[in-house]
Structure 1
Amino acid sequence: MKKILSAFVLLLTLTINAQLKSPVEFLPAYGKQVTYYYQLESYFAYLTQNSQGIQHRPYGQTTEGRGLNTYIISTPENLKDIENIRQNHLYQAGLSDVKPSATSDKAIVWLSFNVHGNEPAAAESAMNVGFELVNPNNAATKEWLQNTIVIIDPCLNPDGYSRYGNWLRTVSGKETHPGISDREHMEPWPGGRQNHYGYDLNRDWAWQIQQETQQRMLVYNEWMPMVHVDVHEMGYNEPYFFPPPAEPMHDYITQSQKDFHTAIGEMTAKNFDAQGWSYYTREVFDLFYPSYGDTYPTFNGAVGMTYEQGGIGAGRAVQMDNGGILTLQDRITHHTSAVLTAVETAAWQKDKLVKNFRTYFKDSREHPKGKYETYIVKNSGKTEELAKLLTRNKIQYAYANESKKLSGYSYQADKDKDFTLETNDLIISVNQPKAVLTQVLFEPVQRLSDSLSYDITAWALPHAFGVESYAVKRDIQVATKKEITYKGKFEYERVYAYYVPWNGRASVKVLSLLHKNKIRVRSATKPSLYRGIKVSPGDLVILKGDNPNISQFEQTMSVMLEGKRDYEVIESGFAVTGADLGAESYPLLEAPKVLLLSGSSVSATDFGQAWFYMDEIIDYPVSIIDADKFSRIDFTEFNTIILADGYYEFSDTEKMQLDTFINNGGKVIAMGGALNIFEDRTSYSLTRYASDAGKAIEKELDDKESLDARYFTSESLLRRELSMSVSGAIVENVLDGSHPLSYGLGNSYFSMKTSSSRYQLLKGAQNVAYVPSKFKSFGFIGSSLKRKLPNTVTFAVEQKGRGSVIYMVDNPLFRGFWESGNLLFSNALFLVK
């Protein structure tokens, strides 16, 4: 009876699998229209319910509440043993101490689709790839999966994908319109590329600022794939791109990883040649910046790869420059072929992949690739956020539990120095599984093989976090502990005031909370000393006498300060040295009432970074109004306006409204292109050149370069254009430490410069941060631009009437991970009058 029942179950299973529907059978409009996200989830649910070759592993939700999902695909036999296979994979590579039961080795392949929402053919092809992998009638994929585990993440950015798809369906009629003038090829602001907060999730792999990335990387680190394919689209006139990638390629990429790129290229080219499809390799898409969906996996031992199909702006169908019509189905077909070829190549090279992956981690521990073996970060308020970043990346660290004299490279001084390792300093050794990723993120200088880079070329975390740091060439031996230990609070008999040091994100969140609860706060403008408590400029003081309406002051403050363990109680306002707490050196802070402008004249990404900063980093209320509604704003409701980078087209009347707002006591924080609103306007100090002589000197330099260019070849002209560019480099700035905009930042500020925009030091304004005549820099800056950067301002404050304008030439909120920039922006928002 049991044999009959088993045979019946087997027959039923085979019958179900044999009838498995393809996406075009399950979704009537598949290949003709972008799929709703719920339909995409429904199709994968259908595959999971009707095939023994796929398992669903949800891993979280987006900001807008959509599901984030992975699907594990292999043979039914492999899936029954899947946890053992995973554990064995990690254990054999030295990434886990859990020893599993004996099992055979498998190639682990992770396929990521649609990190950019308006590249829909990626998610659409994920359904087709998933179907072909579980299709019982596909003999080839059944063979591949004997040796391969495939993990599919069909849509990394469901919010952006839905925003784009819902819009496209709204503007679509029965007929397609290949002509580029039709509205289905003119996506409105902010577009679907980014996630809810306007972040480019493909630049967030290492920093993990966004919740989609944070949740995904928890699962990624549980698997640590050997191959990672990142599926994209680009401009619709472009042929298909697949590996090998372009230069610059980071020095830490191994030969075995490059060899697999070549194997992939050869296999994919063979398939594309047979179909007559256009493609290219080794151009544009490099492997340098560590936070992409190809580079980040690469620095975690995988073969990371970008696949790009022409299609952005194509809608359902578009006429290309060559006269051909590119359809959504064409894009799906190309992606499906390329991605399945990657799986095939991984299955074919399984033994090599397994061996090379294990060798990667063994070699990285035994033979460090970089110059340094230990990184020391001095304890400060910003160290806590750095430790969180390391934890998210599974980078091991510890805290010093003793003092020790050492010598090493100083990031801030850009030279070797003696220093003292002290208790609670952060220690990161490269003697760990994530050695390569650690060195990529901490090495002071990354060699750039080609200046024509796709993204930023410097990112060293000590500069991003603005913390005194050192790199040591050896693995140091010192007593350590797992957590920072705090000294006990000073004993007190009565509460006169609470003291909160202004030293990082936690301080800002406390101030945000206090303002939201209408608790009055003061900020120090000069150093003072109170019984054991040293107060520095920017530090917060909450006086009991300023808050008479709070009946249970001590109990309320204990709740408000829960997240700031280094606060203290002050018993008396009488200073040992410096100013008493009642002096003018402790002005009351005004709670910001913030307006952020949005809309088509504003960079969606830069707007999103400001919005995310307000919503998630400091949790402070912000009103958002489209810039084209500017004339309808009731300015009495606000005292602070944030203008993110953009191309604002204010009328003269609207500019006068902004002038009146500032003169009446309002504050404007203008970033990047928003500075054009004030440039060369009467009564404002913002000009490109401080004098006619300065303008003449730069013109003379430009004229000389133009004369020299007469002898350039066509090829060298491209390089000449690079001489005035910067894709992203770290530039040293001198700080005016006495100004509130610089509080908590130390003696210098390293800015992430991503544009050639520059202004000579301003007259009639406070040049709080500027590039000195002999500045330090890291990463590529064009030679011509580098000559023109000295004595240019990066952050300045101009008082106008009773208000002020804060000029930000560089974006301190860049991608959310520039922690010293987050604090500088917090100064602008809360401390600058």
Structure 2
Amino acid sequence: MKKTLFFLLLFFLVIITAKAQLKTPSEFIPDYGKQISYYYQVESYFKFLTEESNSIKKQNYGKTSEGRDLMVYYISTPENLANLDLIRNNNLAAIGLSDKVSKTIGDKLIVWLSFSVHGNEYAGTESAMTVAYQLLNPNNPESKKWLENTIVILDPCINPDGYSRYGNWLREISGKKTHPELSDREHMEIWPGGRFNHYLFDLNRDWAWQTQIESEQRLALYNEWLPQVHVDVHEMGYNSPYFFPPSAEPWHEFIDKYQKDFQNVVGEKISNKFDQENWLYNTRETYDMFYPSYGDTYPTYNGAVGMTFEQGGIGAGRAVLLENGSVLTMQDRINHHVKSVLTTVGAAASELDHLIQGFRKYMTNSRKNIKGKYNTYVLKNNAKLEQLTVLLKKNKIEFAYADANQKAIGFNYQTQNDKSFAIDINDLIIKVDQPKAVLTQMLFEPYNKLNDSLSYDITAWNLPLAYGVEGYALKNNLNIKTKAIIEPIEHNTPQNVYAFYVPWNNRISAQVLSSLHQNNIKVRAAREKAIFGKLTVEAGGLIVSKADNPKIVDFEKTVIDIIKIKNDYNFINTAYTVNGKDLGGENFFLLKAPKIALLSGKGVSSTEFGAVWYYLDSVIGYPVSVIETTNFDLLNLNGYNTLILADGSYDFSKEQQRRIDDWINNGGKVIAMNNALNLFADKEGYSLSLYDSDEDKKASEKEVKDKESKDRFLDYKGSERRAISATVTGAIIENVLDTTYPMSFGLGDKYFSLKTDYKQYPLVKNGVNVAYIPVDYKSYGFIGNNLKKKLNKTVSFAVESKENGKLIYMIDNPLFRGFWENGNLLFSNALFLVN
């Protein structure tokens, strides 16, 4: 019996010893700290940790567009890991998001650590491995103490596709020796770079919108936990000293004192650590707390203390020579991140009660003591609400539909004044009195107050305007009968259908047309309203008739299988209309299926190219040939009828430009966006110009000279603030629409554009000014004083006919970051309806 007990004890001692002998990343991965790790090596190291320690648990939460795993790791005591669901539900129950409460589990702090949302900021992921090791190290008494009442959720790489793109490139061009000199190719990352995901979206701007698969899957998990602390680990230009909180102004007014206080606590503790190492750092500069879709602000508006950490490192390769003469190594970057992140975890653990209570008060008190001006938001029933409710569900924002009619008074987003209106059945009702009260207000409050105009990003994002729906903000708590869903339309298709009608009113319309074209089904669109008995076909409405498709076998079933994804489709039994717009007349024009070439590569903005590519490939699922600009001479333009030029600096030769000109004249269509307009502005044969007349040009040049003369007497210190008077980082601007032209179909009476560029053009003289900014236009967000005046009577979207072809000018990017839903429809119009 004694022998048995002895061997059992020996067995357990062996197991415990094995568990205690964790390898460091440098012991596990060859050249760790000297060469970027492959993504599979990162996965392998965390697999090793989960096998060797009982204080870490893995959860796979999804896959990237390229099929790589997305993972988080829970790090805490074995007892806490065994009760993760109980801890999670207790945390949610305290703020009204769960009814499952366990009294056997005490309060636990949740700290979420996110690394390398930008793939080429790779020291984040490298440091994540050391952070995990140090938290799990059985010989680290500090971390043991922290984890007693703390759950650390560690995401080692938010953007595996971008990280792998950068890592594979760096390894391919690396030699055995490092080359810190700036001229070495190691510091000259090639297009498109590893910063972005597969579709070249910046995932750090996508937290609220969740347009990308990585964001959608990650935020689904994030909203199941809602941590008290979130740390977002980044890198910046390599000459910049380390940045850690407190953040810079502007701080949004909805941010609480407890959140600011803990940023100060973190800043003081990290500064003490960095001072001991003689490391340079800065706080309260550049990185502000305003735009709601960052990795620090989105968690903040969900009750956490969200923080950004920035290490100099973009473009550093493995080692780089700094302007002060020292060499920044990969190991330096890792060390800085590890020190700051672990210090933050320790600071959070020491402030557990303060953080948990602050989080709960922030989330619960904001329901009754609202931070904004309005208690309720009403959005009139519109097909575009379908996509808006998808976004609300992703963010766990509660909503309902009106189930009664009622009069009300509210602030109208489109007119910017209070007015009476009718609430009708099926209008969307969103109340601030809900667990996600603050985030709801962030997304729907008409005005977000800027306490400093030097903002890092866009300053307006009103969802009713982004989605193109009539919206109202009400100061009172609305008392109206509601329902959870809108009853779907029942389709009783008769035996003999003359044609099918698909309304043109949201992105699903474009998806339907995309599928119809790809199945070689002929489609017409209405130029004006047509009335078929009780059915009204609005401008832009799609018609699929038997007459245009006589060879389709089983016409009804074939078409319905395609269009059924759009619930409001209908059918027509006759070509004869009440108002003289018969189906066989000029009112219904036959649509051409686009054959698209999209330029990419050198000179093209990665993110703006990515926005177009994602729209085509994922939003509407339409084929596109992506052509590198360096291969333009090999491109047979005659094989395409549509050429898309995303924002960029295109260095075309005169001969290449001539080829484009001739191709347009022969029937081609160009969609040119942002800086791609430089190819056509003030060029012979084109109407787009920077000035309305020679007099305007002279006046503008004189204004510049006068300003230069005056500026000589001004101090240098105020130059940055003076400069922003001529800029716009991102503001919503009212546009007048030519509602008779196909490019405006389905957009509504007005179009509110998200303007992110200071450039302005007068209305074109030999074309259609589809959308232009009127005098005394309405706007939201920051626009510099000098620029604001100049935007009056400037064009945002225009179309110029060139012999048999078309040139579409897009001064603003309607696909910006993929979240401007009415912009998706506008681009669909340009692609499909402008023939």
CA contact (8 A) 1:239 1:278 kept: yes
CA contact (8 A) 1:490 1:568 kept: no
In structure 2, how many angstroms separate the alpha carbons of the residues matched to 1:707 and 1:580? 65
Are residues 1:771 and 2:773 paired? yes
Give the aligned partner of residue 298 of structure 2: 296
In structure 1, how many angstroms separate the alpha carbons of the residues matched to 2:62 and 2:780? 37
More displaced 10-residue stretch of structure 1: 483-492 or 128-137: 483-492
What is the CA distance between 1:490 and its match in structure 2? 7.1
CA contact (8 A) 1:31 1:328 kept: yes
Q: Which of 140, 143, 146 is 2:142 aligned to? A: 140
Aligned pairs for 1:227-266 within 5 A: 227-266=229-268
Are residues 1:68 and 2:60 paired? no
Letter in 1 for 2:331: Q
In structure 1, how many angstroms separate the alpha carbons of the residues matched to 2:439 and 2:602? 38
Q: Which of 655, 677, 680 is 2:679 aligned to? A: 677
CA contact (8 A) 2:86 2:101 kept: no
In structure 1, how many angstroms separate the alpha carbons of the residues matched to 2:493 and 2:15? 73
Give the aligned partner of residue 92 of structure 1: 94
More displaced 10-residue stretch of structure 1: 636-645 or 5-14: 5-14
More displaced 10-residue stretch of structure 1: 339-348 or 692-701: 692-701
Q: State the secondary structure of the residue aligned to 1:546.
A: coil
Give the aligned partner of residue 463 of structure 2: 461
Q: State the secondary structure of the residue aligned to 1:653.
A: helix
Give the aligned partner of residue 105 of structure 1: 107
Give the aligned partner of residue 335 of structure 2: 333
More displaced 10-residue stretch of structure 1: 356-365 or 637-646: 356-365
In structure 2, how many angstroms separate the alpha carbons of the residues matched to 1:362 and 1:283? 31
In structure 1, how many angstroms separate the alpha carbons of the residues matched to 2:11 and 2:723? 68
What whole-Å deviation, never above 9, does each CA across 1:160-181 have from its counterpart, x for those lacking one? 0000011000000011000000
Letter in 1 for 2:431: S
Give the aligned partner of residue 444 of structure 2: 442
In structure 2, how many angstroms separate the alpha carbons of the residues matched to 1:352 and 1:558? 58
TM-score scaled by length of structure 1: 0.99
In structure 2, how many angstroms separate the alpha carbons of the residues matched to 1:352 and 1:307? 22
Letter in 2 for 1:564: K
In structure 2, how many angstroms separate the alpha carbons of the residues matched to 1:268 and 1:830? 55
What whole-Å deviation, never above 9, does each CA across 1:696-719 have from its counterpart, x for those lacking one? 333344344444434422222211
Could you list the runs of 5+ residues in structure 2 that have no partner in the other structure? none
In structure 1, how many angstroms separate the alpha carbons of the residues matched to 2:404 and 2:462? 26
What is the CA distance between 1:403 and its match in structure 2? 1.3
More displaced 10-residue stretch of structure 1: 484-493 or 256-265: 484-493
Aligned pairs for 1:629-644 within 5 A: 629-644=631-646
TM-score scaled by length of structure 2: 0.98
What whole-Å deviation, never above 9, does each CA across 1:62-102 have from its counterpart, x for those lacking one? 00010100000001121122221111111122221222242
Aligned pairs for 1:404-443 within 5 A: 404-443=406-445
Cα separation, partners in 2 of 1:3 and 1:759, compared to 1, 3 Å: farther
Give the aligned partner of residue 661 of structure 1: 663
Aligned pairs for 1:558-597 within 5 A: 558-597=560-599
CA contact (8 A) 2:20 2:53 kept: no
Letter in 1 for 2:482: T
What is the CA distance between 1:489 and its match in structure 2? 4.4
What whole-Å deviation, never above 9, does each CA across 1:497-554 have from its counterpart, x for those lacking one? 1011100011111100100000000000011111111111101111111101102001
Q: State the secondary structure of the residue aligned to 2:588.
A: coil
Letter in 2 for 1:200: D
Q: Which of 39, 51, 68 is 1:37 aligned to? A: 39
What is the CA distance between 1:12 and its match in structure 2? 2.6
CA contact (8 A) 1:526 1:578 kept: no
Q: State the secondary structure of the residue aligned to 1:680.
A: coil
In structure 2, how many angstroms separate the alpha carbons of the residues matched to 1:493 and 1:204? 47
Are residues 1:518 and 2:520 paired? yes
In structure 2, how many angstroms separate the alpha carbons of the residues matched to 1:653 and 1:695? 29
Q: State the secondary structure of the residue aligned to 2:718.
A: helix
Give the aligned partner of residue 502 of structure 2: 500
CA contact (8 A) 1:84 1:101 kept: no
Give the aligned partner of residue 620 of structure 1: 622
In structure 1, how many angstroms separate the alpha carbons of the residues matched to 2:412 and 2:172? 56
Letter in 1 for 2:400: A
In structure 2, how many angstroms separate the alpha carbons of the residues matched to 1:106 and 1:324? 43
Letter in 1 for 2:57: Q
CA contact (8 A) 1:724 1:784 kept: yes
More displaced 10-residue stretch of structure 1: 342-351 or 82-91: 82-91
CA contact (8 A) 2:598 2:645 kept: yes
Give the aligned partner of residue 157 of structure 2: 155
What whole-Å deviation, never above 9, does each CA across 1:221-255 have from its counterpart, x for those lacking one? 11100000000000000000000000000000000
What whole-Å deviation, never above 9, does each CA across 1:563-615 have from its counterpart, x for those lacking one? 01111110111001140000011011000001100001100000000000000
What whole-Å deviation, never above 9, does each CA across 1:269-304 have from its counterpart, x for those lacking one? 010001100001001000000000000000000000
In structure 1, how many angstroms separate the alpha carbons of the residues matched to 2:670 and 2:108? 57
Give the aligned partner of residue 268 of structure 1: 270
Q: State the secondary structure of the residue aligned to 2:26.
A: helix
Are residues 1:278 and 2:280 paired? yes
Letter in 2 for 1:523: A
In structure 1, how many angstroms separate the alpha carbons of the residues matched to 2:92 and 2:124? 29
Q: State the secondary structure of the residue aligned to 1:193.
A: coil
CA contact (8 A) 1:644 1:674 kept: yes
Give the aligned partner of residue 185 of structure 2: 183
In structure 2, how many angstroms separate the alpha carbons of the residues matched to 1:185 and 1:738? 52
Letter in 1 for 2:274: F
Letter in 2 for 1:548: P
Q: State the secondary structure of the residue aligned to 1:752.
A: strand
In structure 2, how many angstroms separate the alpha carbons of the residues matched to 1:425 and 1:698? 48
What whole-Å deviation, never above 9, does each CA across 1:648-668 have from its counterpart, x for those lacking one? 000011001101110110100
Aligned pairs for 1:468-483 within 5 A: 468-483=470-485
Cα separation, partners in 2 of 1:533 and 1:347, compared to 1, 3 Å: same
Letter in 2 for 1:168: L
What whole-Å deviation, never above 9, does each CA across 1:440-461 have from its counterpart, x for those lacking one? 0000110001111100000111
Give the aligned partner of residue 750 of structure 1: 752
In structure 2, how many angstroms separate the alpha carbons of the residues matched to 1:491 and 1:144? 65
Could you list the runs of 5+ residues in structure 1 that have no partner in the other structure? none
Q: Which of 793, 796, 800 is 2:795 aligned to? A: 793
Give the aligned partner of residue 740 of structure 2: 738
In structure 1, how many angstroms separate the alpha carbons of the residues matched to 2:606 and 2:70? 23
Cα separation, partners in 2 of 1:9 and 1:606, compared to 1, 3 Å: farther
Cα separation, partners in 2 of 1:5 and 1:499, compared to 1, 3 Å: farther
Cα separation, partners in 2 of 1:65 and 1:411, compared to 1, 3 Å: same
Give the aligned partner of residue 132 of structure 2: 130
CA contact (8 A) 1:595 1:641 kept: yes
CA contact (8 A) 1:381 1:506 kept: no
Letter in 2 for 1:762: V
What whole-Å deviation, never above 9, does each CA across 1:694-742 have from its counterpart, x for those lacking one? 2233334434444443442222221111111111111111100001110
Q: State the secondary structure of the residue aligned to 2:672.
A: strand
In structure 2, how many angstroms separate the alpha carbons of the residues matched to 1:87 and 1:101? 11
What is the CA distance between 1:793 and its match in structure 2? 0.6
What is the CA distance between 1:10 and its match in structure 2? 3.8
More displaced 10-residue stretch of structure 1: 372-381 or 601-610: 372-381
Q: State the secondary structure of the residue aligned to 1:462.
A: helix
In structure 1, how many angstroms separate the alpha carbons of the residues matched to 2:716 and 2:224? 50
What whole-Å deviation, never above 9, does each CA across 1:662-689 have from its counterpart, x for those lacking one? 0110100000111011111111111101
CA contact (8 A) 2:514 2:622 kept: yes
CA contact (8 A) 1:698 1:788 kept: no
In structure 2, how many angstroms separate the alpha carbons of the residues matched to 1:608 and 1:69? 25
CA contact (8 A) 1:527 1:578 kept: no
RMSD: 1.3
What is the CA distance between 1:493 and its match in structure 2? 5.8
Q: State the secondary structure of the residue aligned to 1:715.
A: coil
> Among the aligned pairs, what percent are the same residue?
56
